[in-house]
Amino acid sequence: MPEHAPFVGVLADFAAELRSAGLAVGSGDVLTYCAAMTPLDPTDLLDLYWAGRTTLVTRREGIGVYDEVFRRFFLGAGDPVRELLKIKAQVTAETQAVLQVPATDDGGEGHPEEAVLGLMASDAETLRHKSFTSCTPGELAALRRIMARIRLTPPRRRTRRTAAARSGRALDLRRMARESLRMQGEPAELFWRRRKVRLRPLILILDVSGSMADYSRNLLQFAYSAKRAAARVEVFCFGTRLTRVTRALDHRRPDDALEDAAKAVFDWEGGTRIGESLDAFVRDWGRRGLCRGGIVVICSDGLDRGDPAVLAAAMERLSRLSYRVVWMNPHKGDDANFRPSTLGMMVAAPHVDLLLSGHDLSSLEELAALLPTMS
């Protein structure tokens, strides 16, 4: 349909605009959008809006971005002259051959810092018990590399799914029917199915407020390693408000991932509102089943500026929604007889199943060792 071509160009431009605004819009989606507009009226703004929203946006968070770009693209450019220019420019661009040279990827060499993996055993040993706050940047880099090797294995649970097994509770009728067919219809042997086991989800909630900043950067690194090691890990950060950083940590290169995660969090080194943040977690994520049957690890010193009653209520609901709650408090240090002194910690303590320190590498290793036994 050649008479539609300039219009398709506008739609494609719009999609490109969305893409640069951060929405994941593939060419397939643009095709669907154009196809969707065929039975609709392209001059009707409402049709244009809704058809685009239903074909190009795939999650609720994207709707805001879409609205903004739509407004800018179709409504902001309200004057017809600019619209015409846009169409004209598109047509001329199509007639010219464009040579595109793909940008070369420097991925082959890798990041210099990551390439240097030599870590001396003796260094590693002394670093292991050094508190994160007293480490030099070089030492921290070394620690990060060791951390990347810690494998986190959450405990397992039995699922509703079954798999063939040597023994079990239910007969594998499918297999028996097949086998008996081979044996001239004689069910000679019994085959069984048994329920599968699966790793429980792991949810890390990290305090990035001022009092915790030195630890949190390392904990974020730890979260990144954990996310790469275990299958289902969700990571949240909070200071005065809660931010989900799980998606930001989805990078292959740790530095990119940490940078993205840091950008996603607005309130680095600000105040602390543990109660409100945990309440937000329970409300927005916990209730929807994110931590159901999972292990929740909270890293915070418990210095709460908010109302302790809110924290107590949030912790109670969190402990009911999840399978186990672990609290890592760096101020606990190596002190075995540590008693929580901050109000927040005292309020939260009754709902915590395990209290660890998390102030140095060995305590993180302790967590890694304890996790599989928490069933």
Residues contributing to the site for another protein (CB under 8 A): 24, 26, 28-29, 32, 35-36, 39-40, 46-47, 50-51, 53-55, 57-60, 63, 159-161, 173-174, 176-177, 180-181, 184-185, 187, 283, 287-290, 313, 317
Q: Which is nearer to another protein, 49 or 268 (CB)?
A: 49
Return d(Cα 37, Cα 43) in angstroms, integer. 10
Q: State in angstroms the smallest separation of the CB of 287 from another protein.
A: 6
* Nearest distance in Å: CB 92, another protein: 31
> Which residues share a beta bridge with 354?
326
* Nearer to another protein (CB atom), residue 24 or residue 91: 24
- Kindly report each contact of residues 331-340 with a partner whose C-beta sits within 8 Å and lies 24 or more positions away, as own/partner: 331/301, 331/357, 331/359, 332/356, 332/357, 332/359, 333/131, 333/357, 333/359, 334/129, 340/302
Please identify, using beta-carbon distances, which residue of 29 and 214 lies nearer to another protein: 29
CB of 157 to another protein, least distance (A): 11
User: What tokens were used for 63?
Assistant: 């709707």
- Closest CB to another protein among residues 42, 333: 42
3-class DSSP state of 125 = helix
Q: How far is the CB of 125 from another protein (least distance, A)?
A: 41
CB atoms within 10 A of CB 241: 14
Distance CA 75, CA 364 (A): 53
Our CB check for another protein shows the closer of 263 and 287 to be: 287
| SS3 per residue for 281-346 | HHHHHHCCCCCCCCEEEEECCCCCCCCHHHHHHHHHHHHHHCCEEEEECHHHCCCCCCCCCCHHHH
* Smallest distance from another protein to CB 91, Å: 27
> Which CB, 183 or 369, lies closer to another protein?
183
Measuring CA to CA, which residue among 302, 366, 297, 354 is closest to residue 330? 302
Q: How far is 122 from 168, CA to CA, in rounded Å?
A: 49
At residue 234, φ and ψ (nearest 5 deg) are -120, 140
Shortest reach from residue 60's CB to another protein, in Å: 5
CB of 20 to another protein, least distance (A): 19
Q: Please say which residue, 290 or 345, places its beta carbon nearer to another protein.
A: 290
